[in-house]
Every structure is written in structure tokens, then in C-alpha cells.
């Protein structure tokens, strides 16, 4: 099976239409940036969440600066599903944000078409690990700036420069609480990842033809 797509073989039907193709998308970013919120806002099924209360034991290892009001944390993943159009659905896997759970990322990223890296301009440095992770593994991603109330607004170009993104990596503004806004982010991911995978396929075909 191609790593960029999952085929739903369950024969499940939603609203009288069978789902022919499902793509896997990761939702990543720093602690408290809105990953669980985004998955929950766009999911058309009741999202699976693995949140636990923050404990005193975790205070020594978890960086909670800037999100002092947050009382829970994702310890495995969030899972949701959204239908983009007839015959195409996205399976969403929200990654845990703390360093101590990053060993789960390799498992979650298997077979992913692309990813969303959520960013908070008040703590922009928190999304550097996710950006590095996807760049090194050549997984196409979009940076989605979650516009928190009271946070300073920056132009997309400014965020791109601050994160030192590879040329062409999309940066979009969003509200993780709003379903329509989240869906637009996911559409951008699918479109961008599709272009990247196509370009790489054509490049590999060209290299093979040149060496023949």
C-alpha cells in the first residue's frame, strides 16, 4: 500500500455514500497549542481523546509556561474523522505535545499523507520540534497559526521567516475552535501534500529514466 493513502475496506456508509478513500493527517505542535481543540472541532464523529489531568509528578518535566490554566494533557493521541468531499475522508491523529511522549510520533506518522503544525505566536518556539521532525522525514506539512484572543497578529511571511521554513511551506491563520476554519486548514494540507508527493514521484521517474 502506498504510504500516502489508506483505503477504507470496511464498507461503512455515511449519509448513504460509501467512503472510498481515507487519508491520514497528523495534527502536531507544542503543549497547549490547540491540537485537541482542532480535532474535536472538525470531527464528524465523537473524537477519541486520551487526556489525563496534569499531575504534580509531571510538573518537573512538563513546560507549562504560557498555558497556566490548562489542566489536562494528551498522553497518547487524539483521533477524529472528517469527510472533505464525497468519497474522500481524512483520519486525524493529534500528537501529544510534551517531550516525554515524542516516542509515539514515529508510530503515529506511519502512512501519513501530511501534517498540520499548530503554532501560537506567543510561544512560537514550541513548534520548532514538530517543524524539524516533519522536515527531516520529508512529510509535507502546513503551519497553522492558532489565533488566540489577545495574541499579537503576525503576517504569514513573518511567521515563515521566524520558523525558518523551507521555501513554499504554507502558513495559514486559523481559529482551532471553528469547524470551517479548521476544515480550510485541512484542505490546504491535502492540496499541498498532493503537490509534493506528485513532484517527488515525477522526480524519481525522471531519475530512473536518466540512469537507464
Does 9 have pLDDT greater than 70?
A: no
Give residue-wise pLDDT tens across range 126-143.
999 999 999 999 999 999
Q: What pLDDT is attached to residue 69?
A: 53
Give residue-wise pLDDT tens across range 26-51.
999 988 899 999 999 999 999 886 64
DSSP state of 134: H
Q: Tell me the average pLDDT across 168-192.
A: 97
Does 203 have pLDDT greater than 80?
A: yes
d(CA 143, CA 146): 9
Residues across the chain: 212
Q: Is 141 left (phi over 0), alpha (psi -120 to 50) or beta?
A: beta
d(CA 33, CA 192): 22
Q: Which residue in the block uniquely carries the three cell numbers 487526556? A: 51
The larger pLDDT score, comparing residue 186 to residue 76, is at 186
Percentage of the residues of the chain whose pLDDT score is greater than 70: 75
pLDDT-based confidence at residue 120 (cuts at 50, 70, 90): very high
Q: SS3 for 84?
A: strand
Q: What pLDDT is attached to residue 97?
A: 66
The larger pLDDT score, comparing residue 144 to residue 76, is at 144
Whether the pTM exceeds 0.85: the reply is no
pLDDT-based confidence at residue 179 (cuts at 50, 70, 90): very high
CB contact set of 56 (below 8 Å; sequence gap of 6+): none
d(CA 62, CA 28): 17
Calculate the average pLDDT of the chain.
82
Q: Tell me the average pLDDT across 79-93.
A: 94
d(CA 196, CA 60): 40
Q: Tell me the average pLDDT across 192-208.
A: 91
70 alpha-carbon distance from chain centroid: 20
The larger pLDDT score, comparing residue 95 to residue 99, is at 95
pLDDT-based confidence at residue 146 (cuts at 50, 70, 90): very high
Give residue-wise pLDDT tens across range 52-68.
444 444 444 445 454 45
Amino acid at each position: 500500500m502506498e504510504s500516502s493513502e489508506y483505503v477504507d475496506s470496511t464498507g461503512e456508509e455515511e449519509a448513504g455514500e460509501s467512503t472510498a478513500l481515507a487519508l491520514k493527517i497528523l495534527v502536531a505542535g507544542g503543549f497547549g497549542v490547540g491540537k485537541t481543540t482542532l480535532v474535536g472541532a472538525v470531527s464528524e464523529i465523537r473524537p477519541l481523546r486520551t487526556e489525563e489531568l496534569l499531575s504534580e509528578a509531571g510538573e518537573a518535566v512538563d513546560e507549562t509556561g504560557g498555558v497556566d490554566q490548562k489542566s489536562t494533557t494528551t498522553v497518547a493521541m487524539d483521533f477524529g474523522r472528517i469527510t472533505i468531499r464525497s468519497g474522500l475522508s481524512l483520519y486525524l491523529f493529534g500528537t501529544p505535545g510534551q517531550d516525554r511522549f515524542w516516542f509515539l510520533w514515529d508510530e503515529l506518522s506511519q502512512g501519513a499523507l501530511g501534517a498540520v503544525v499548530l503554532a501560537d505566536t506567543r510561544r512560537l518556539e514550541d513548534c520548532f520540534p514538530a517543524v524539524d521532525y516533519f522536515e527531516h522525514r520529508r512529510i509535507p506539512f502546513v503551519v497553522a497559526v492558532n489565533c488566540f484572543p489577545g495574541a499579537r497578529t503576525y503576517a504569514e511571511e513573518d511567521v515563515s521567516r521566524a520558523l525558518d521554513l523551507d521555501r513554499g511551506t504554507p502558513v495559514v491563520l486559523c481559529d482551532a475552535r471553528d469547524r470551517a476554519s479548521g476544515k480550510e486548514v485541512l484542505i490546504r494540507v491535502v492540496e499541498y501534500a498532493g503537490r509534493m508527493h506528485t513532484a517527488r514521484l515525477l522526480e524519481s521517474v525522471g531519475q530512473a529514466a536518466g540512469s537507464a
